[in-house]
Structure 1
Amino acid sequence: MANKSRIDRVFARLLMNHPYGWALYKKVSAKDLHPGTCGYFDSDGDWKILKIQNHLLDAESREPEPLTWGPKSSESVVCRQIGGSIGAPAMALPVEASVKLSVQCQSEEGAFIVTENPVLRHQIEDEGAAVGWVKANTAELVKTYKSIIDHHGIWIITKTYTSHRCAVAVMSSKSSSIELGISADIPGIFTFTPSSEWKSSGTDSAFEVHEDGQGVVAFISGIYFSKRIFGSELKETRGQDEQKKRFLRGKKEDIKLEEEEDLDSQEEYVVELFNCTASQE
């Protein structure tokens, strides 16, 4: 792969062009990751829940919103229909999917995800309440999970998109291509079905199929909290541009850079405070 980063990080980075948050390559069940949960991604990219006495699991959430999705791909990927009939009822084809889709990479890396419909959007009502919860429980979090916060930071999940079944792929060369049998029972909308299957043209692609009766998480949004060089409060980070080096990091150099940036901001604050105090005198 041209980019030496791990596949799950490449997948998340390449699908940032979609407005749904961070795309997950590795399987995570919706019962373990949903709005209101507090946790972290470990060194292998697996989601782990943090449990403390006053947990966010009871946070008020909106009613799930059902959505109809087609495939989502990075800008470097082109999808073409190569067989079947759009609009053919899926129920009429119990063994084979009604359409074949060719997924081709036009650069040195590409990513692709297709879900079974409906996709459910879950989100908490009040993100401010989530931030308040972290502030109220910072002492217990730092006491119980200091090492985790130091090395990984923690997330409060605010929104998820889930499906009972989804397929994910990362292509690592310009010649990469994959064929996927899917259904197109809604005109123009391709969906993943139990009869779907991958076919790869070579070894330069990685793909997986995830299933879970309670839902597989395809995309997440959340608020990231990390340690500060000074002070006892946790540093809050929102938005993908700001979260990118945290979510996609994996090298010690990245963590060191983050700490140096935080130190710089703290030094600027100390200088500003000193100047303000001096002027008052």
Structure 2
Amino acid sequence: MPSLGALYQQSMLRHPYGYALYEPESSETLQPGFCGYLTELGQWTPLLGTHQMPVNLGDPSSLSRNGLTPFEHFHRAPSDQRSWGPKLCGRITQKKVDLEAGAGLLPAGIPADIGALYRYSNKDGFGAILMTESPVIKDFVYGTTTFRLWCKANSETLLRKWPDIKDRGLIIVTSVYSTKFAMMNAWSETEKEISVGFRAGVIEIGEAAPSTSWYTARGDSGWVSSQACHPGERKVVFFGGLYFKYRKLATILPQSHAFSAGPVEKARFRDVDPDAKEFETQVEDDDALYDMLVTSEERGEMVELPNEEENDDDDDDF
């Protein structure tokens, strides 16, 4: 059975923000431009280079110190702030409790002067809820193709210095959503119910909601909190980027060329994308040299660079 972290990450893909971190990561190790991968438990692991510092496409010295080519198209977008309601995933439902029926409905730990009380429950399967303190800040960088082309030019070096990505894949981070404080509850029991009280009277479950504070019932188990502690630090709850998957070329055989004699010949018939959505690279392992196919997938919001060219009038027509 998949771990809670894996179930949480997959189920939260219903929200358009990319990967959801079962354990929110510090913004000091997860930022736009950073390179890394996810473990089987869904934990972010940056590529650590010289001086044990994360490889960062936004820092030219980070690339040169690690033998990687410069990245000349790092364009950071203005930060964006928003307020979120609860983020739900899995087989979970929400029900508002009628507080006019009496204060006896309030579980221990939730004050009597709240504006609304909600119960979240499931009857079977996985369920999870994420609460985030406002504001949630989105930081991102523009572009997709430039990141693919950089990865194509540096894949041999990346695979040699960080061989873990051969099996786990490589992620180049392009967006993060962070908060100062987050709480999460995830479970896979047959049936569970938790209560949350809010200062605001109406709580939206969409992608936007009024800024509000919340309280959890003292008897509800499973809540895990994460808080930024260092000056300027935040906790990343979602991040997006480009995911590069490495596979031995000989194991990928297009059906249209199944008549070819050998696996290498079959692989040569593959169409390689000029924008590096799919490309080939070589890997040396145990003194043996073999080819790998690299494919890229977009996860989360990918924002293209704004067109700064002005449309000048053609005076020759007048």
Do both proteins adopt the same fold according to a TM-score greater than 0.5, normalized to the shorter chain? yes
Q: Residue 274 and residue 123 in structure 1: after superposition, are their counterparts in 2 closer, same or farther (change >3 A)?
A: closer
Cα RMSD between the aligned structures?
A: 3.4
Distance 1:263 1:218 in 2: 35
TM-score (norm 1): 0.69
Identify the residue that residue 168 of structure 1 maps to in structure 2.
184
1:1-281 equivalent positions in 2, closer than 5 A? 4-52=1-49, 55-58=56-59, 59-74=74-89, 76-82=91-97, 98-146=115-163, 148-184=164-200, 189=209, 193=213, 196-199=215-218, 201=220, 206-213=222-229, 214-230=233-249, 263-265=252-254, 270-271=265-266
Distance 1:133 1:223 in 2: 12
Letter in 2 for 1:11: Y
TM-score (norm 2): 0.62
How many residue pairs get aligned? The number is: 231
Distance 2:217 2:211 in 1: 14
Q: Residue 14 and residue 46 in structure 1: after superposition, are their counterparts in 2 closer, same or farther (change >3 A)?
A: closer
Q: Residue 199 and residue 63 in structure 1: after superposition, are their counterparts in 2 closer, same or farther (change >3 A)?
A: same
Distance 1:10 1:118 in 2: 26
SS in 1 for 2:228: strand
Sequence identity of aligned pairs in percent?
23
Q: Are the counterparts in 2 of residues 108 and 174 from structure 1 also a CA contact under 8 Å?
A: yes
Identify the residue that residue 105 of structure 2 maps to in structure 1.
none
Q: Residue 144 and residue 212 in structure 1: after superposition, are their counterparts in 2 closer, same or farther (change >3 A)?
A: same
Letter in 1 for 2:96: Q
Shift of 1:216: 1.3
Question: Which structure: larger Rg?
Answer: 2
Identify the residue that residue 70 of structure 2 maps to in structure 1.
none
**Any unmatched runs of 5+ in structure 1?**
86-92, 232-261, 276-281
1:166-185 C-alpha deviation (Å, 9 max, x unpaired): 11111223420112234327
Letter in 2 for 1:39: G
Q: Are the counterparts in 2 of residues 115 and 191 from structure 1 also a CA contact under 8 Å?
A: no
The structure in which a higher percent of residues are helix is 1
Q: Are the counterparts in 1 of residues 177 and 237 from structure 2 also a CA contact under 8 Å?
A: yes
Distance 1:210 1:84 in 2: 30
1:15-43 C-alpha deviation (Å, 9 max, x unpaired): 22222222111121122112111011234
Q: Are the counterparts in 1 of residues 76 and 142 from structure 2 also a CA contact under 8 Å?
A: yes
SS in 2 for 1:139: helix
